[in-house]
């Protein structure tokens, strides 16, 4: 990231004043394919998503309720779902969506905390018109197969669903908040002494990956360092300047580097967790390197991946870390919003080609992949862990 991006980041955030909430759901595509779905699964899940959009367009909210997953219908009253839809579609119309991708992911419904290991994450574009203003919404719907087809779920939290129940079906019982079990602070197999104990935020990222590797039965080697610089320095990957290099991971010396000015801008304008989102993204590149995942200009020939695929996967892994940190009560109110702000403003400008070696992904793509990891954890990011 260059100096111009740092300055643009400061200006954008100073002008915005309001945290960006991001899209409501996760992105399905990762830099490695998942063979859990066959062609029939992909077609059926895509068709189910299109049917949901057609029912939205017809304002047939009763039928939409009938197509919810049985687990969701068993908890949420019909009146709550229909009432919510009627409120959302006041002054709004839509048309059938266009499916842009279908992936098999492990996804957790935040309302109950239950994980569905074989979820169809259907990415789509859907046109909406609200009070005469049109907008193409890019999003993802999560569908899980059951005896009668592919069912959808309402809401990301019990608090949201309970608000709809209280408003539209007050006689019904609220849904209990999911219980998040206390997780051990040490990885499976013994105590891990992090070399980053002098910086608790960085140490938390290190502990997250030490646990993940231990649980997968793999040896874990942390980065050799997280090094800040305010003057030009030499790295294993060549010279680095604070004017041109904001934050990067060097594969050759296994070190994360960052410009001190960049750190200060993020810390001061976005917040401490905005900064740790940068670190956890770069840590994702270290994990990729440890697992033999590499960037290539000819991935079709050598088994590598386009740079943008690695960048988006690193965004996903940053989301997975955020999910874990939140479950361990390491986060403060507003930290997730900080991560979303940072990811949003770091998107590529319009016109960057997919195969450009400097491509990282648009704001929409980066946010979607971050959400993918946040909602589905490491499995949603396509790593064999």
- The CA distance from 383 to 215, in Å, is 13
Percent residues over pLDDT 70 in the chain: 85
Written as six digits, the tokens of 228 are 């800040």
Tell me the average pLDDT across 126-146.
89
Question: Do you know the residue count of the chain?
Answer: 385
pLDDT of 239 = 95
pLDDT tens digit string along 289-326?
A: 999 888 777 766 776 778 888 899 999 999 999 999 99
pLDDT tens digit string along 146-172?
A: 998 999 999 888 888 998 999 999 999
Secondary structure class of 63 (helix, strand, coil): helix
Helix (H) or strand (E) holding 277: helix 272-290
Across the strands, what pairs with 90?
none
Domain assignments of the chain as residue spans, ordered by start: 3-20+182-381, 39-168
Question: Would you say residue 66 has pLDDT above 90?
Answer: yes
pLDDT tens digit string along 192-240?
A: 889 998 888 899 999 999 999 999 999 999 999 999 999 999 999 999 9
Q: Are 203 and 325 in contact (CB under 8 A)?
A: no
Helix (H) or strand (E) holding 276: helix 272-290
pLDDT tens digit string along 72-92?
A: 999 999 999 999 999 989 989
pLDDT tens digit string along 91-102?
A: 899 999 999 988
CA distances from 338 to 275, 311, 345 (A): 9, 19, 11
Strands of 20-97, DSSP E? 92-94
Mean per-residue pLDDT of the chain: 83
Question: Would you say residue 189 has pLDDT above 60?
Answer: no
- Strand 114-130 and strand 98-109: the pairing is antiparallel
Question: Would you say residue 34 has pLDDT above 90?
Answer: no
- Report domain 39-168's class: alpha beta
- The CA distance from 115 to 122, in Å, is 17
Q: Are 373 and 320 in contact (CB under 8 A)?
A: yes
Written as six digits, the tokens of 125 are 């574009």
**DSSP annotation of 380:** G
Written as six digits, the tokens of 133 are 């203003």
- The CA distance from 308 to 359, in Å, is 5
Helix, strand, coil percentages in the chain from 3-state DSSP, rounded to 5: 45, 20, 40
Tokens 């539209």 belong to 168
pLDDT of 108 = 84
> Can you state the angle between helices 200-215 and 307-327, rounded to 10 degrees?
100
- The CA distance from 126 to 124, in Å, is 6
52 phi and psi, to 5 degrees? -60, -40
Secondary structure class of 312 (helix, strand, coil): helix
pTM over 0.75: no
């Amino acid at each position: 990231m260059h100096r111009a991006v740092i300055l643009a980041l400061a200006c954008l955030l100073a002008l915005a004043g309001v945290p960006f909430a991001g899209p409501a759901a996760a992105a399905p595509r990762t830099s490695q394919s998942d063979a859990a779905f066959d062609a029939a699964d992909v077609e059926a899940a895509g068709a189910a998503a299109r049917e949901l959009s057609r029912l939205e367009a017809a304002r047939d909210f009763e039928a939409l309720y009938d197509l919810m997953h049985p687990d969701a219908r068993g908890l949420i009253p019909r009146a709550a779902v229909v009432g919510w839809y009627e409120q959302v579609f006041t002054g709004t119309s839509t048309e059938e969506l266009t499916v842009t991708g279908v992936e098999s992911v492990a996804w957790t419904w935040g309302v109950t905390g239950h994980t569905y290991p074989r979820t169809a994450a259907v990415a789509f574009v859907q046109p909406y018109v609200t009070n005469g203003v049109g907008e193409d919404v890019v999003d993802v719907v999560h569908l899980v197969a059951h005896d009668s087809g592919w069912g959808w779920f309402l809401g990301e939290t019990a608090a949201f669903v309970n608000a709809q129940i209280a408003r539209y079906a007050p006689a019904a019982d609220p849904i209990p908040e999911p219980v998040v079990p206390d997780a051990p602070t040490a990885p499976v197999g013994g105590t891990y002494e992090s070399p980053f104990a002098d910086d608790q935020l960085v140490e938390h990222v290190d502990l997250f990956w030490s646990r993940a590797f231990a649980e997968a039965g793999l040896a874990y080697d942390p980065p050799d360092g997280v090094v800040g610089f305010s003057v030009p320095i030499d790295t294993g990957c060549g010279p680095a300047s604070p004017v041109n290099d904001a934050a990067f991971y060097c594969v050759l010396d296994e070190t994360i580097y960052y410009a001190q000015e960049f750190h200060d801008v993020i810390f001061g304008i976005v917040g401490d967790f905005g900064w740790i989102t940068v670190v956890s993204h770069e840590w994702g590149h270290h994990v990729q390197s440890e697992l033999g995942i590499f960037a290539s200009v000819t991935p079709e020939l050598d088994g590598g991946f386009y740079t943008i695929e690695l960048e988006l996967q690193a965004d996903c892994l940053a989301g997975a870390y955020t999910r874990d940190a939140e479950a361990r009560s390491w986060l403060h109110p507003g930290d997730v919003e900080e991560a979303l702000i940072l990811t949003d403003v770091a998107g590529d400008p319009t016109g960057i080609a997919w195969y450009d070696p400097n491509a990282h992904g648009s704001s929409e793509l980066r946010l979607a992949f971050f959400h993918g990891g946040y909602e589905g954890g490491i499995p949603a990011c396509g790593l064999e862990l």
